[in-house]
């Protein structure tokens, strides 16, 4: 776990204790994106094509996979992507007359900015 991931987790715990639902939701979704990035890609050769369940992993320990090790730069890139998505969605929502939701997304993006 990188220093940045540890900081995100610590801030999530603080937000949960403070019952800050907005910060909790943003930090949870960001940590989920980081966790998804740690997943190894599925190798097509290890999938059964003709077994009882098509596409199932085969072999001893086939369901066990080591997670990728991310660097702080990798985590920052993920956070930046999360921030960009929120800003783009805010712009789109504002153009459709949903200013309140757009402001909420901008506040979430601002919260993520402190990790960049």
Q: How confident is the model at residue 45 (pLDDT cuts 50, 70, 90)?
A: very low
Share of the chain above pLDDT 70, in %: 79
In a domain, 93, yes or no: yes
In a domain, 56, yes or no: no
Write out pLDDT tens, residues 51-95: 666 666 666 666 667 788 999 999 999 999 999 999 999 999 999
Domain extent for 100:
3-39+68-113
In a domain, 92, yes or no: yes
Beta bridge partners of 57: 47
Residue 1's pLDDT is 84
- Taken in order 80, 86, 89, 90, is the CA torsion positive or negative? negative
Distance CA 104, CA 116 (A): 19
In a domain, 11, yes or no: yes
In a domain, 79, yes or no: yes
- Structural domain total, the chain: 1
In CATH, what number is assigned to the domain containing residue 12?
Answer: 1.10.1510
Measured in whole angstroms, the distance separating CA 50 from the mean position of its chain's CA atoms is: 34
Name the more confident of 103 and 55: 103
């Amino acid at each position: 776990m990188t220093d940045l991931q540890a900081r995100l987790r610590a801030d999530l715990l603080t937000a949960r204790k403070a019952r800050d639902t907005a910060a909790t939701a943003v930090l949870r979704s960001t940590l989920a994106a980081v966790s998804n990035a740690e997943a190894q890609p599925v190798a097509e050769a290890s999938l059964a094509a003709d077994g009882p369940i098509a596409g199932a992993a085969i072999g001893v320990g086939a369901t066990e996979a080591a997670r990728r090790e991310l660097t702080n730069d990798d985590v920052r890139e993920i956070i930046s992507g999360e921030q960009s998505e929120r800003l783009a969605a805010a712009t789109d929502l504002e153009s459709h007359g949903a200013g309140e939701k757009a402001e909420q997304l901008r506040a979430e993006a601002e919260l993520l900015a402190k990790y960049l």
